[in-house]
Amino acid sequence: MAKVSLKKKVDAQPTTLSEVKSYARKIWLAGLGAYAKVGQEGTEYFHELVKTGQTVEKKGKKVVAEQLEAANSQIDNVKDDVGSFKGRVEVQLDKVEKAFDARVASALNRFGIASKHDVETLSAKLDGLTALLERVARKH
């Protein structure tokens, strides 16, 4: 009986070895299949990702453009408000300046200091007298 069991073990080895070889081959083929599928589907997946990226980029650009337009609109509104405010400030400054000039002129007049208008009037009269004197001097 020992021979029979030995024979069975010897016969079992080739079956196990062939099963191992078959299993190893299947693993190898599965790896090749996975590699090929990843290569094929990977390319398709890459193209799908590119399309998705283009869509997101397009939407992003649209949102940025809308926000930029809104910001520019707000800036224009602020510019208008500042321009209006500037005009009102200039009017008020003109009033303050005129009031200041009037008070300074009044104070100078009380001290007996001639105003710009008084000096200009005197200067015009002086020019007239100078011209008259020159005419009189030429006649003589």
Per-residue pLDDT band at 6 (split at 50, 70, 90): very low
Give me the DSSP letters along 74-132: HHHHHHHHHHHHHHHHHHHHHHHHHHHHHHHHHHHHHTTPPPHHHHHHHHHHHHHHHHH
- Average pLDDT of 115-136? 90
Residue 121 belongs to some domain of the structure: no
Query: How confident is the model over 90-99, as pLDDT tens digits?
Result: 889 899 999 9
Per-residue pLDDT band at 32 (split at 50, 70, 90): confident
102 has pLDDT over 50:
yes
Domain count, the chain: 1
Residue 25 belongs to some domain of the structure: yes
Residue 109 belongs to some domain of the structure: yes
Residue 98 belongs to some domain of the structure: yes
82 has pLDDT over 90:
no
Residue 136 belongs to some domain of the structure: no
DSSP letter, residue 138: H
Cα distance between residue 61 and residue 74, in whole Å: 20
Residue 138 belongs to some domain of the structure: no
Residue 76 belongs to some domain of the structure: yes
Give me the DSSP letters along 29-56: HHHHHHHHHHHHHHHHHHHHHHHHHHHH
pTM (two decimals): 0.39
Residue 135 belongs to some domain of the structure: no
Amino acid identity, residue 12?
A
77: containing domain: 2-113
